Structure formats: C-alpha cells, structure tokens
Structure 1
Amino acid sequence: MTSKPIGVAVLGLGNVGSEVVRILTENAEDFEARIGAPLEIRGIAVRRVDGDRGVPTELLTDDPAELVGRDDVDIVVEVLGGIDIPRKLVLSALEKGKSVITANKALLAEYTGELADAAEKSRADLYFEAAVAGAIPVVRPLMQSLAGDRVNKVAGIVNGTTNFILSAMDETGADYAETLAEAGRLGYAEADPTADVEGYDAASKAAILASIAFHTRVTAGDVYREGISKITSDDLETAKSLDCTIKLLAICERIVTPKGKERISARVYPALVPLNHPLASVNGAFNAVVVEAEAAGRLMFYGQGAGGAPTASAVLGDLVMAARNKFYGGRGPLESKYAKLEVAPMGDILTRYYVSMQVADKPGVLATVAAEFSKRDVSISTVRQHGSGDGARLVVVTHLAADSALSETVASLEQLDVVVHVASVLRLEGTTV
C-alpha cells in the first residue's frame, strides 16, 4: 500500500535548484523508502517560464506565492537567493504550517528571529543546513549532536571564492586583481564579487553559526567584517617567512571580559594562520569549520562548501528530515535562544597583529616605532626589515593585546614622520601568545 505523497514546492531553478530537482527525480524510489512516503514535486517557481529547463513544462510557474499557498504543498524548498522576495515567501509558507528548507544565508542572518518565531507559532519545521558551508554538515551537529555539550568556539573557512583567491596568490605569487580575474574566468567568482571578497557572505554564515553555537540571536550586523581586497603578494611572502599562510576566517567564540562578564564574539577577517594549524592546509574552493567543545574537544568538518550538487546534497538531507516529520508526526529542533549573550565589540577582543609599513631607512626608526607599541602596553613578538633605502619595509608581529589598543597603535604609526605609510594590517590567529 502506497502512503499519501508529500508535496514539495521548489522555489528557484538555478545551479542548486536544478540539482535538487534532478536528484529527487532520479532517486524517487530511494527517497520514498527512506521517508515512508513518496515525494512529489508540485511545482517549480522560476522568473520566466520559457526555454528548455530540463523539467516538465507543466511544473513551471512564475507565481511563487500561488505555488506556496497551494493545499497540496507540504514542504517548500527555497533556493532563490536574495532577501526581500524569499522572506515574504518563506514567512507565508511557515505561517501556513508548511515546512521550509532554505539555503539562503543572507535571509537567515538578517531575519532568523522572525522566521524562527513564525515556525514555532505554527509548529512548522525550518531547516537550513545548506546555508553554511554547502555539503559540509555543520548546522545539524551544532544543533543536535552537540546539544548536550558546551561549544566554546567555532572558526573556519566558509567562503570558497576567497579561499581560492588566497590559495592561488600563495601558490603563484600573482597579485589580488590578477587572481580575482582568473577566479571569475573559472567560475569561482561572481560578476560582482563584492559579497564574497569583502566578507559579507562569510559574515552571514558567522551570524548563523554563532546563533546556533551560543544559543543567542546574532545577525549579520553584529559581525565585525573585513575582506581580502587589500591583501598583497608581499603579505603572503612575509607570511611564508613567518611559517604562516593567509586565510579569510569566520570566528565565533565565547569570551570573558576583564570584569568577568560572559560575552560572545563574531568576526570575519583575513588572518595569518600558522602552517601547523588544520585550517592552513585547506586550499582552493574548499571549506572547513573547526568546532571546540568542552567535552567533545576539537572537531573538524571539511569538504566542498559551494556548488550545485554539494549544496543540493545538504538541501535534500533537510528535505528528508522534514518529510519524515510530516509522515510520522514529529518536529525538528526549535530555535535555542535562552542564553541571550551580548556580542562584544571588536575592540574588546584579544588578538595579535601583523603590521607591515614602509619606513625611512635611517637610524632610530625602530626605536620610534617600538615606542608607539609600548605606550599602549602592546608587546612586540618579532620585528623584521625587508629592503633598504626608499624601499625599506618594517614588519612587526605583536603578542596578544586588546584589539582597541592595537588599532590605536596603528593609527599613531601612520602619523609618524619616519613611517611613509602603513601598507598592511592583519591579525594572527591559531596561536595563544
């Protein structure tokens, strides 16, 4: 006896949506066996119903709101991208009690509270594994596998475009502009790469990870953000001399203020990473996330963080879970926000700095520069000079200090007569001194 089919609406037929539909269609019998009931695609929302889309024409519609509202739709898969239209559609679905699977990190990072409240009120499921790191299972382990543990830190490489660019710069010695152009030719970078290279994409993912890990609502606006567009080939060469590489990192962690208050930090920036750190060997368009928990210790998740098929894999995993809940009458995990921890400003975070500056090549320069660090109780770990004459470059690496003190020091260096200009300022992660 065949159980009543579970109706699925797919919003979007781009790289991810096409793969979701293909895999669902080709493996229909397997999905039915895993769930207990068949999945049936009721419709696919597209911007224009024209051309050969590789799916039955009768499934296509340019009216996503009508599709979401249909009585025979039980689960909505949102892979449109953007914020405003998907927000309305996802809210509408949740308010009608339909389960939603979304890969939309920008939407979740901006409106996670609103969506979670709508899901809780209507007792609907909201799944979003595909919103962070593509095929890599990170969201569900944080929400479920580590639900009995205390997570202290989540850090990783969560944007494949920037990782490809930095890896290529490191391997070839090419500059940023040249490597970005190559990334575009190979399809790793969008025509407008701003969201990736300026860290907005990673910041959205950091907000989602911090919200889950620390049981606190965190939005993209709470995340400190810097991109990679100012990284130079000189920075990467100097990093090698320090036994480091440079990665764009998303870092979410618990901290304790000097007054003993527990806070959380969520930040995205390019950083020097020691070559012996597990994230240093993650190259190309791959992603990796390291989770540190009190009982479980350090866990690392690695794999393809983007692409149609990998992201579709995560979407379909969520779809199976939501469909099982529909079939058996269960529910997925609700949002956990009980901790309500404050997000600490960047200035309160203890970090290390790498500062590269062009300086006048004359006696007393080092002493003058070192004095600016000393004034703010910032201890210097190493100092290196490269070149001489007009091309003299001084590189300073600090010990741990408050980011505010380090930032003030850099600002003061730029006012010194002996400093021609401060070329690069990066943080150093993966060390404790």
Structure 2
Amino acid sequence: MLETKTLDFTVGEFATNPDRFAGVSISEMVRHWSETIPDETAFVTPESRVSWKQYDAAADAIASALDLAGEGYGHVAVLLPDTAVFHAALCAAFRTGRVAVGIGSRSGIREISHLIARSEASVLVTTRTLRGVDTAELVASLRAEHPGLDVVFADERADVSFERVSANGELTSLPVEPKQFPATSPCFVTSAVSMLNSTSGTTGLPKLVTQTEDRWVGFSEIAAEAAAIGSDEVFLGAVPAPFGFGLWTSHFLPALLGARNVVMERFDVSVMIELIERERVTALNCVSTQFKMLLRSEAAESADLSSLRFMFTGGEAVPYSEALAFEQRTGAAVLQFYGSNETGAVSVTTVSDDSDTRLKTCGHVIDRMQVRVFDDAAKEMTGSVRRGQPGVNGPLMCQGYWGDTDANDELYTDDGWMLLGDIVEIDETGRVRVV
C-alpha cells in the first residue's frame, strides 16, 4: 500500500510554489480541499453549486460502485456531461486503480463502442440523461455489442447505481453503499498512465491517447506562469472536458489552485456571458469559435465582462482581428498554447508578451520542451529561422497511442521524437507561427 500523504497546501499556492505539488494527484487535491475548505465552491453550473466536500463524496460514491465490478483492475469508460460528475468519475477511477477512458458527451454509438472495444473497458460510467436525451437506448445498444459491460449511473450529487446483466440475460441492480476510499490507489503513481482519451478533429475512428497526472500538472504549471495566475481566480471552462484543453483547464488547474470552476453541460453563448458576469469569472477557456460567438452576441453588448483577466483559446488558428477585438472589448489578454493532445504544449503566449507576439504568433517555444523542425525529406532544418514539420520531445508528451503500434510508428520519428501534422516557422527569437 502507498503511504497516505499529509498535504498542507493553501489556496492558490500552486501558482507560486508548483514544485511542492510534484507527485500529487488531482484525487488527492480534491480530498485535501474537502478537508480544509469543505464548504467552498468547486463547481458552478447555471443551476447549481457543488462544494469540495460534495465533489469528494461523489468521487467516493462512484468509486464504491466501481468496486462492485469485481476484484482486479480494468478500464472504465466515462461518458458523462462536462460538469462536476465527469471530474468526480476520473477521481473515482484513480482511487480504485482503474484507467479511465474519457469519451466526449457528443460521441455517437459507433465511436463509443469502438473506444470501449479498443480500450477493453469492462465498466461504463454514464448518467440517465445526456444532453437532454434518455440514455436507456444507448446503454442497451452498447450492452448488445459488449455483453459483459457493467454500467454505473451517476450524478454529481453522489446519486449512484450499479447494473449488471447476468449470463442468462437478466438485468440486476446491486445496492451501492458509499464508503470512503484512499485518495490514491496502490496501483497508481502520477507518472503512470491513468487515463486514455480519444483523438479529436480527425477522420475515421479515433485513437486512444495515453495520459498521466504528471504531464497535465506540468502543463498547468506553465499555464499559471503564462497568465500570472493569482490566488483568487475564477475559471470558466467552455471546452469538452475529456480532451487535452478541457483536462488542464477544468480538471487539473482549478483543483491544484483550490479555485472555483464554472461549467456547462451544453454550450450556449448567452448562458456563458451570463455566467461570466454573475460569477465574476477571471479566466475564460474556450475555442476560437466560441469567443467569436461571444463578440457577435447581443447579450455581450450590455454585459459587464470587466472581471475577465485572461482567456486561453485554441483548437484552430487564432484569428488576429477577432482576438484584438476581444482584448479591446474586455480588457483581458488573449493567450494560447500551440501543440496537440499527443505532444502537449510546444509554445505559449503570455500576459507579458507584446501585442504582436501574443496575437500574431503562437508564442515562444517552451523552455522545457525540445523542438526540431524537419523538411519534406525528414532532414532536420538548422539556422536562425526554421520552417517545416515540428517534432518534439520533453515532459509534456503523452506515452503514445494505447495498443496501436501502426499509429505510433506514424507518430514518432525513428529516434523517438513526436511529430505534429502542421508546417510551422520558428523565427530567430524562438516564436512559432503555423504556416
């Protein structure tokens, strides 16, 4: 068994002393905040608030249901809305030694079934309704394709049930008796693969990207420095939670800081604007399409958005004119990372960058990441200005695709550098532009 750590972090300390958090999981941070600031708010939705104590209790309740799936350790597919229950399920998987398989809430049946099969998940955690639709038909279809699939139904208020189909086809519901779990499992260290998520924005069936706690804590440290994050930030995450952008902005960074995080089950620009004003959000996390919708919304014309201090965006090339308009309208700095779910971050813009660097480039190459640039013949480019396909190495990288040798052969160079699919130019000052 792992020894139980005694944590003594204070709210916001991660921003000033991140080295102290090395080797600490998000599950442990949730337990820590539930014991030190139990009644403070961890998540806000348009209709509800979830405290750190409730967040921790939901994680334990889901863990108790996962415990009914039998002894041993397997993978658990997580198909939940982008609210507190998704984050509680990730903590529950960690506490029971199971690798979580994050599935986007908008995924179709073919994609969900493929991810369950590819990951060999034996349990599905979902909810009775998803994006306003009853999930009974979806669950029945998945059970038909995966007869041994156990199902846990959960919500962030720790209302959890467990169902299993027996060998003769009878559906059995087992009572879930919530108990408190250790915040970390003896099977996991933060450098181990604890989550898989699917590639996004690709054609065909998705691949599974390996995720560790360490890589996203490291990512969060760079983000905190880039945005000069303080101890009283309020986050709003408008991006899907299971993917890289959603993981560090909603699952990792707020929990490391002990900060409030505003989330929505379904994106609605008017609701987002209302929440920014109501909750005095300081840190907005959204893709370019979403902040462009904000700029064009009538609701934004009269809304008080003065609380915003910075916005992290990405998912596509950030449009200069709209980014400039956002800064002028709100006074918030527009920031971005360049990278991918697989590579992590390659470059970042910061609040201290000049306007041209911040809005017309992808920022400077991150010091702790090594970047090479290859031409069409896979020859490394040299010189003060380099243009070609980037390959990276460093601590923010994933550990490759899960169970997919052919895809890994395409992802890596022969000497182990991870490739991106873009053509970039890196100038003499180390600034990156996607060309």
Greater fraction of residues in helix = 1
Give the TM-score range, shorter chain.
under 0.3
Give the number of the structure whose alpha-carbon radius of gyration is greater: 1
